Amino acid sequence: MRIEYLKLAVGNLAHRKTRSILTMVGIFIGIAAVISLISLGQGLESAVQSQFSALGSDRLIIQAKTAGFGPPGTNTAGMLTKDDLEVVQRSQYVRVAAGRLIKFSSAEFNGKTHIVGMASMPDRNEDERQVVLEVTKPVIIEGRLLTTNDRYKAMVGNKWVGENRFGRSVKIGDKIKVNNRSIEVVGILERSGNPVFDEIIYLNEEPYRDLLNIPDEYSIITGKTDNEEVVDLAADAVTRDLRRSRGVKIRQEDFTVQTSAQLLESVGKILNVIQAVLIGIAAISLIVGGIGIMNTMYTSTLERTREIGIMKAIGATQAVILSIFLIEAAVLGLIGGAIGVALGIAFAKIVEFIGTYALGPGLLQADISFWLIGGALLFSLCVGIISGLLPAWQASKMEPVEALNA
């Protein structure tokens, strides 16, 4: 008998095809937005987790507290120094630590000048250099990596070849001017997907300091412990030692010490907040869609008053009338949800394709799971049922005589 109700409900919706489609617009727009935003958000979170996992769980990241948002070394409230690096290196549980400079400077090439990022590589010893190489994992596609003996030589990001702001591609052996000093390009890196780091210039630390006139500062210090089991103890030891050497009290630190796990957790919280806001915006479309279904079902009740009266006159019970109208509302929600899922997957994949083309593989990807699809369909079904409940109840309560005389 329930199959007959379903056939009748689907037939009624098909008879009012245009109205049914318009009613579903709010539902499938909302579901499409939710599917695409959640899948892209989960994909981005997975990519970020993958990037931070590459850091290793035995790492410490020490930075100066900043006065605003930006890359390490910008808006610095209390900068890190060479003395801080030595303190970190002497701290308990820290096996090796290395400092890096990450700044922006003007660079001239092919007669054009632009502001680009510049990052230093440790050149004091191989242990410090290895700490940075394990984190950055530079992949050379042309030329070679910097060595500790290189002076005014550089590796450059992938944006320096092909698509770039300087008019032509950089080649091995070309010279880039920074503060009127020529730097020879010895290596070109593989595309990373990070727009800033794909246009960055990598130099060894001492020539970097000479070029930008930075005698003592560090933007970031990375420490490595013997194993991940002591990383929290190392973080406490470094915090205590830096607090003592910099002469600051507890909760007045002008620096931060984070483990890679803590850094990942912080980034994850930010991503979750952003995703929640976006989903909240998309949910407005679902509310509008639900109101649309309710409005359609009320209109349908008024239009079919005599039909309801005839059905009751020939023996249809309140439960039968209620079931038919609820099934109609549920079908509207479910079909709208199915269309929304299809559109959401398509949109997410298009964004993933564009992101892969623009930023490189792995950074922006759509993570579409069975549970996400199933949850979206179930949610759209519930929206339909809830929206149709009141109109269906009103239809089922009609008296046969009143309905026939309407």
| Domain end point (choices 242, 258, 274) | 258
Tell me, yes or no, whether 20 and 106 share the same domain.
no
Range of the domain at 194: 56-258
Q: What is the pTM of this model?
A: 0.67
pLDDT range class, residue 136, cuts 50, 70, 90: confident
Question: Tens digit of pLDDT for each residue in 284-322?
Answer: 767 777 777 777 767 766 666 777 777 777 777 778 777
Same domain, 202 and 278: no
pLDDT band at residue 222, thresholds of 50, 70 and 90?
very high
Contact between residue 114 and residue 106 where contact means Cβ atoms under 8 Å apart = yes
Q: What is the mean pLDDT of residues 321-335?
A: 81
Beta-bridge partners for 154: 185
Q: Residues 171, 252: one domain?
A: yes
pLDDT at 13: 67
Q: Are residues 170 and 69 in the same domain?
A: yes
Do 29 and 61 lie in one domain? The reply is: no
pLDDT tops 50 at residue 75:
no
| Contact between residue 29 and residue 244 where contact means Cβ atoms under 8 Å apart | no
Last residue of a domain, one of 230, 258, 286: 258
How confident is the model at residue 362, as a pLDDT?
A: 61
Are 97 and 222 found together in one domain?
yes
User: Is the domain of 77 the same as that of 222?
Assistant: yes
CB-neighbour burial class of residue 216 (10 A; exposed 0-12, middle 13-18, buried 19+): exposed
pLDDT per position as a tens digit, 353-374 = 887 776 666 667 788 888 888 8
46 and 66 share one domain? no
268-287: per-residue pLDDT in tens? 777 778 777 777 777 776 77
Count how many domains the chain has.
2
Structural contact between residues 142 and 187, judged by C-beta atoms closer than 8 angstroms? yes
Instruction: Provide the pLDDT for residue 84.
Output: 93
pLDDT exceeds cutoff 50 at 336: yes
Amino acid identity for residue 198 in this structure: D
208-216: which pairs have CB atoms within 8 A and are 24 or more residues apart? 208/101, 208/118, 208/120, 209/101, 209/120, 211/105, 211/152, 211/178, 211/179, 211/181, 211/183, 212/101, 212/103, 212/105, 212/118, 212/178, 212/179, 214/101, 214/103, 216/81, 216/82
Binned at pLDDT 50, 70 and 90, residue 239 comes out as very high
Name the residue with tokens 């406490």.
236
- The verdict on 147 and 241 lying in the same domain is yes
Residue 67 has pLDDT above 50, yes or no: no
- Confidence band, pLDDT 50/70/90 cuts, at residue 9: low
Percent of the chain clearing pLDDT 70 (strictly above): 84
pLDDT value at position 119? 93
**Per-residue pLDDT for 133 more than 50?**
yes
- Asked whether residue 334 carries a pLDDT value surpassing 60, the answer given is yes
pLDDT band at 69 (very low <50, low <70, confident <90, very high): very low
pLDDT at residue 90 in the model = 92
Q: Are 182 and 152 in contact (CB under 8 A)?
A: yes
Say whether both 9 and 63 belong to one domain.
no
Q: What is the mean pLDDT of the chain?
A: 81
Single residue among 258, 289, 324 that ends a domain in this structure: 258
Determine the angle formed by the axes of helices 17-53 and 318-359, rounding to 10 degrees: 40
Do residues 33 and 114 share a domain? no
* Two tokens, residue 266: 């912080």
User: Are 390 and 248 found together in one domain?
Assistant: no
Q: Does the structure show a pLDDT above 70 at 27?
A: yes
